Structure 1
Amino acid sequence: MAHTPQPTKDGTTPVSAAAAAVPLFTGALVTRAGRASKASAGLLGLAVLVLAALPYIAFAGTTSSMVTFFVLLIMASMWNLLAGFGGMVSVGQQAFVGVGAYTVLAFANLGMNPFVALPLAALTCAVFAIPTSWLAFRLRGDYFAVGTWVIAEVYRLIIIRFDSLGGPSGMSLPGLTGMDPVLRGALTYWAALTLAALTILGCYLLMRGRTGLALTAVRDDETAARANGVDVTWSKRLVYLVSAAGCGAAGGILIIDSLSVQPNAIFSVQWSAYMIFIVIIGGIGYLEGPLLGAIVFYALQQLLAGYGSWYMIILGAIGVAGAIWLPRGLWGTITNKTGILLFPVGYRLNQPWTLPPTLR
């Protein structure tokens, strides 16, 4: 029979050492995804399947505009990975957009199918990002942002010196001119959709691992992260290479969709401006942010297309207003109020306030 402690003279009941060692709260559970998050992820997967069937049920103009949407989603996801999780604010990611497009052009000139050259464009940009990172990582803060812009301009100036790639006037993409336009449009759409889905999945898997934790630590306090054993340089270089590869693949899609490339357009800083706008509006530091931001940006593009120069002015005003009144973006605001996450990469502590039986 268990011994029951008797009250002392002061009226209190002593607690044994074993009972004192029992935590005051039981049933604590650390999770990453709740039921709502898993259901949302399932719906998102279903949406991808539905989108894959769009070329069979929609006009070519619709699928062509959706290609632009997927390209912007890829670019914004890469910029969010770089700045939102790695803490590296770049305004020069158009460097890899341009290098990716010209890589597809170079391999197409050698007789390779441009669609087959897409993975090579991503790989080439990752390789180019290695020496680029050696230069860029010597800079910090605002200097890093300006430095990446200068590097992008250097890449553009180098490209226009190659007459075999069209020089300053650009060049048409060979290898697809004889293909049926409807088939080419459908293949371009599926390639863009596949790359967008792989980009989101890749970011999710990367951020759920040790690299994701290291990046978060570096973003919050680089000195503290280094003191706690995080390989800061390796973590930042890895995410920089991944971001470059994603932007390069997006650039490859752009040249396939337009069938031509012009250096001033493909290396334009407007691509970085679009990335930043989408991420700021959607929610920086959330994997869902670029997805929601790309939807908003795409809707604004369709709505404001007929306003001429006012289009950019209105976009800028919306971006400034979002940064002031919604500093966490649309998705950050939604998450704070509902707790819903489509791609949970952090940890959540579910701990009910329940006393153990010995202390009830």
Structure 2
Amino acid sequence: MTPRFQLTVTRSSATSRTTNGLMLCLAVLLALSPWLFGVGGSARAVALLVYVLLAVMWNALAGFAGLVSIGQTLFFGTAAYFTVRLADAGLDPYLAILASIVLGAVLGWVTSLFMLSLKEGEFAIGMWVLSSLAHLCVNLDPLIQGETGTSLISLNAYANASRTSFTLWLALAVTIAFFVLLVVLLRSRTGAAITAIRDDEAGARSIGVDVMRTKRTVFVLAAAGTAAAGALWLASNTNFQPRAYFGVHWTAYMLFMVLVGGLGRIEGAIIGAVLFFVIETWFGSYGAWYLVGLGAIAVLFALFLPKGLWGWIGPRLPGEAIPTGYIVEKKSR
């Protein structure tokens, strides 16, 4: 007897529901860090969230939209600078962080007006040039004192424990917000257009996709998310030295996290960020050797796991962990 099957189309699976549960537990654990792990643990939790933000946003730009940028430090560094400037003008530092995220989105929109017309290598190099120009302009501000830098002094109004806790909770809320925004975007018609443009821009345009508007949407989202990471990193470390925020090492970190985790998958970006966080925690004190180790790991992954960790793990799971499309399930009647 020929078996009969029923096809069902859904947005979730047992794997995605399990993933959602695990992520909820992790979010609760991070929120409780001030009581469970103290000030030091909370500060490290903020670092992890910043890495996740950077990886997920760069992956959204390069992995989903095909816009490979080596100048996202433009938004990372300017957001930290905006935070210092707004706080110096009298705005509460945490309100300054939120305002800087908005300004990062505005800067992303303005930048998109002329950068998105560039293609591939021109776009990547153009973004790096803009980041370098922003670095030079920030150095000219007397408040910053060149590469000497300054501090987010207004944070001293909060007790150390309270400051660390507030920064962690804000970082957690912002990371969740951007994660949800990205998933909702990728599940929408715009998300389908984004991947269509990545795969074949001319073909996407021929079927009526507004290429420039679609690219601008994901570009502005990635700019705002990267700006959030920069402002939160400043809140956690308090010191602002331009070369520490506009430095090319941040681009290297983003590339490492996404390529090792898996380009084009949200799960890959998150795994890459967690792996980078663990490596940095254990080996960051080794200085130059630590960077050599990161490079060696990246080369090994390029040779033996070109699709990253998630490219190896994902196909072995019964369903997608964070589905951005539809899932077709076949069930026996």
1:101 aligns with 2:100: no
TM-score, normalised with respect to structure 1: 0.88
What corresponds to 1:239 in structure 2? 218
- Residue in structure 2 matching 1:349, options 304, 311, 328: 328
Q: Does the alignment pair 1:254 with 2:245?
A: no
Deviations, residues 191-249 of structure 1 (Å, cap 9, x unaligned): 11222222222211111111111101011111110101111100111111111111111
Superposition map of 1:213-228 within 5 A: 213-228=192-207
Q: Identify the range of structure 1 (91-100 vs 254-263) with the bigger mean alpha-carbon deviation.
A: 254-263
Amino acid at match of 1:217: A
Q: Does 1:310 align with 2:289?
A: yes
How much has 1:43 moved relative to structure 2? 2.3
Kindly report which structure 2 residues correspond to 1:62-141, keeping only aligned pairs within 5 A, or say none.
Answer: 62-141=41-120
> What residue number does 2:138 align with?
159
Task: For residue 71 of structure 1, report the CA deviation from its aligned partner.
Answer: 0.7
Deviation string for 1:59-101 (max 9, x for gaps)?
A: 3212112211111111111101100111001010001001110
SS at match of 1:91: coil
Retained in 1: the 8 A contact 2:14–2:319? no
Where 2:323 maps in the other structure, the secondary structure is: coil
Please state how far the C-alpha of 1:168 moved relative to its aligned partner: 3.6
* Cα pair 1:200 1:287 within 8 Å, conserved: no
What's 1:196 paired with? 175
Shift of 1:326: 1.4
Mark the runs of 5 or more structure 2 residues left unpaired by the alignment.
none
**Alignment counterpart, residue 53 of structure 1, candidates 32, 35, 57:** 32
The total of aligned residue pairs comes to 331
CA 1:59 to 1:139, structure 2 compared with 1: closer, same or farther past 3 Å?
same
Q: Partners in 2 of 1:187 and 1:221 — Cα distance?
A: 44
| Aligned-partner residue type, residue 69 of structure 1 | L
Counterpart in the other structure of 1:282: 261
Q: Distance in 2 between matches of 1:178 and 1:134?
A: 40
CA contact (8 A) 2:33 2:45 kept: no
Alpha-carbon distance in 1 for matches of 2:331, 2:109: 48
Structure 1 match to 2:277? 298
Aligned to 1:4: none
Amino acid at match of 1:273: A
Q: Which residue, 199, 212, 234 being the options, matches 2:191? A: 212
Pairwise CA distance, 1:352: 5.4
Pairing partner for 1:175 from 133, 154, 162: 154
1:250 and 1:169 map into 2 onto residues whose CA distance is 22
Q: 1-side partners of 2:85 and 2:287: how far apart?
A: 35
Cα separation, partners in 2 of 1:101 and 1:306, compared to 1, 3 Å:
closer
Contact residue 25 and residue 351 of structure 1 kept, 8 A = no
Question: Could you tell me how far apart the structure 2 residues matched to 1:109 and 1:91 are?
Answer: 30
Task: Give 1:297 shift.
Answer: 0.6
Q: CA deviation at 1:26?
A: 5.2
RMSD: 1.7
Say which one has the larger Rg: 1
Distance 1:298 1:268 in 2: 18
Percent of paired sites with the same residue: 36
Instruction: Quote the Cα distance in structure 1 between the aligned partners of 2:5 and 2:107.
Output: 53
Could you list the per-position Cα deviations for residues 146-176 of structure 1 after superposition, in whole angstroms to 9, with x for gaps in the alignment? 1111110011111112213433422111211
Q: Which moved more, 1:193-202 or 1:147-156?
A: 193-202
1:353 shift after superposition: 8.1
Counterpart secondary structure, 1:28: strand
Q: Is this contact kept in 2: 1:215–1:236, CA < 8 A? A: yes
8 Å Cα contact 2:262-2:308 kept in structure 1 = yes
Q: Given that residues 188 and 257 in structure 1 are in contact (C-alpha distance below 8 angstroms), is that contact kept between their aligned partners in structure 2? A: yes
